[in-house]
Chain A
Amino acid sequence: MSSDRLDFSPLDPKRDPERFERMVRKVTSGVQSASAPAPVLLDFWRWGRLGLVAAALLALGAWLPNLTIGQLPATDTVALVSSWAQSGEVPANVDLIQTLGALDEQ
């Protein structure tokens, strides 16, 4: 079978080893340069990520107290009633009806 092989050496890119090596280097360096991010982009990405973390922390710091204080009366009606009882506070009629209604639903 191999004796039937046609001679394609005139078309062979490896016929000129130096030129073939240049082609190999060109492709390899092209792959490398494309996969390495540009320094400016890399800096932007790093600082952007830090900025994102800082913004998330600030938002958390600002909202956490609101969340914990605001959620208690709305979600935990039992805690609200007990807080009235402990403090001796007389709730408004509207608050009382809403709270008792919520207790009924539970």
Chain B
Amino acid sequence: MTNHFIDFRNADVILNMGGNVAENHPVSFKWIQAAKDKGGILIHVDPRFTRTSAKADIYVRLRSGTDIAFLGGMIKYILDNNLYDEFYVKNYTNASFIVTPRYGFDDGLFSGYNPSLRAYDAATWTLEKDENGLPKRDMTLQDPRCVFQLLKKHYSRYTLQKVTEITGTPGSDLEKVYHAYATTGAPGKAGTVLYAMGWTQHTVGVQNIRAMSIIQSLLGNMGVAGGGVNALRGESNVQGSTDQGLLFHILPGYLPSTRAQWPTLESYNKTTPTSKDPRSINWWKNRPKYVASLLKSFFGENAKKENGFGYDWLPKLDPDQDASWLNLFDEMYKGTFTGFFAWGMNPACSGAHAGKVREALGKLDWMVNVNVFDSETGSFWKGPGMDPKKIKTEVFQLPCAASMEKEGSISNSGRWMQWRYKAANPPGVAKPDGDIMYELFKKVQALYKKDKGAFPEPILNLKWDYETSGHFDIHKVAKEINGYFVEDIPEHPVDQKAYKKGTLVPNFVYLLDDGRTSCGNWLYSASYTEAGNMAARRKKSDPTGLGLYPEWSWVWPLNRRIIYNRASVDLDGNPRNPNRPLLKWDAAGKKWTGDVPDNAVPPMGATGAYPFIMKPDGVASLFGPGLKDGPFPEHYEPLECPIEKNIMSNQRINPVVKIFEGGPDKYLTCDPRYPFVCTTYRVTEHWQTGVLTRWLPWLIEAEPQMFCEMSLELAKLREIKNGDTVMVASPRGKVEAVAIVTSRFKPFNIAGQTVHQVGIPWHFGWLHPKDGGESANLLTPTIGDPNTMIPESKAFMVNVSKLTKQPAKKPTKS
């Protein structure tokens, strides 16, 4: 999130799309209600009428997988009717930037497409620079090659009629939403968007969010109270686990993973983003300081300037290697791995194409499964269709402490890092995860010390000293993440003050690239300082009255509650919305008041620093050349869809998605055997695959089993009654479910054709409860977004048929 949960109350219009906030983030709804109580408008756009729709001022439905068409129409509406925030668009976005004449777009393909590689060469998407390396601009926005004009041209094709044909949303409904949301283009108004996996789990997932980011930038809604682009993340610490780099492509703090083409730290640092524009702060220019400090936190005293701080000891990916989830399980299926950790995860139910995942687990030599409860992953070897006597995989199941049985911090969707205390001991011999990994590594290290082995240096040189009185101490890790000075610094270049060896760094501004500082994650630097554990703070002051609560917990970066907040002020530093001033320049005191400024430079004026400090050009990107599938979002159909032809172009699906072929990977699109669109979702009483909810009596009683929601019309067509058992089938698997026949779903009219959609939750699995049903992911395909490889679980094709079962025999009386 750029903003945070309480900030919802500051919005004039809230758009929840690709999500169901009332049911999946229920408590946050109180802040939506607070906005509504002040006259705010809630819009819900979703294929299914949910409790969010019931509370919405405007609810409209769309077919799963057509969000870019829907939002493309909104971009056109905003531009056609001059509803954008002109000041903001000219000053704070790249609307005025000139695009190279080599850029083009024709019939669904951007320039630079290579069909044999299924990839673009982005060299034709660049922004032009002048002789000094500064971006060429036309502040009148009239140049036909300026971003603004290209944007206008691109979305001129998204007419109401075409959008209706694609989405199935009636034109009058589209206009209702477009009109209501576009009112937030006025400087005194704020609109926010709340999305979830309904936007990410598509082959156009990133571009769904890009489309909305374009709208938010056009309307001046980024960096303001009540605005922003806000991902409602699904897990309590999925923000934090991402921040800490538990993904193949990033090290902690979003530093790119090391790759073979950068064999030395020097070559890695050459990829540091640069800008020749003195008005662009380009914060990423500081990256070398963060990398050097990270390496120090890995290898401590063994990380020396002479050895590139141990850069050699980090594993390198191949130049274009993608080691993400779908590829990981594809490799496992092919037998690449002998060992596997499923730590606090249940991929046998959570992974797309779960049948393939379960088979893949049987090809391992060993698996370590750590969890609070047993799961379909830990016990996969005795699952349906498995013969344990034929499965070689050795399985270790380690019991771990639940969240209230250990100490540590988690980061919510609004980036609030909150400390949790230990309330009780874990049951039996269960231990906190941190203790398990700490002890396990010590065993590994001892083995390598004793017997050596392949390339032992990273293991032997790793800094692993997080003990107090012989016990693992999580506070020591928290301090490692914050960072400290590794030697006395008589005069620090930032403030000319002296700092002692071992002193925790005040924040990441103090990090150095010469090995004199250590920091496990620069983004979290300032979270645990000499002033204490900031995440544990509980002071409820609210000086701005906007609900920022600056002394409650801690927020990355630097306790800044709303990112890019300098975009909320005018060129002189005055709030553009005087009713909700997030930031104000105090000219006399020469400082900002309000939120922690992003960043603490004077107001922009005519020559000062642009507000979007993490972007190389300093402004928001309406034209975004950094993605694999194009600089503007374009509508493509899901891999499996109900219509033979994309109404927008001759490219049916995203032209750069990776297609997994052969083996268990089957797809059928527009196939009469699988005629219905299917989507997955969650219910309030369960969470993810249900490992942490299915074993809880209160919750499993409330939602006991797998179901399939369908419209009255579809039920009639298939002669299904409410409560019947049905079979939901895709080319990859079958799942039994109880039919819920409901007017919450309605058939769509897609270009004159009736299209039915059904929905299923993904909380269940064979292990428990016994009659609870199976995982929805047995049906979903192995296909992902080309940028993130997040699987397309929100739009695929199924069949639904009634299962005629013999009624249970009554016991005969003797």
The judgment on whether A and B are partners is no
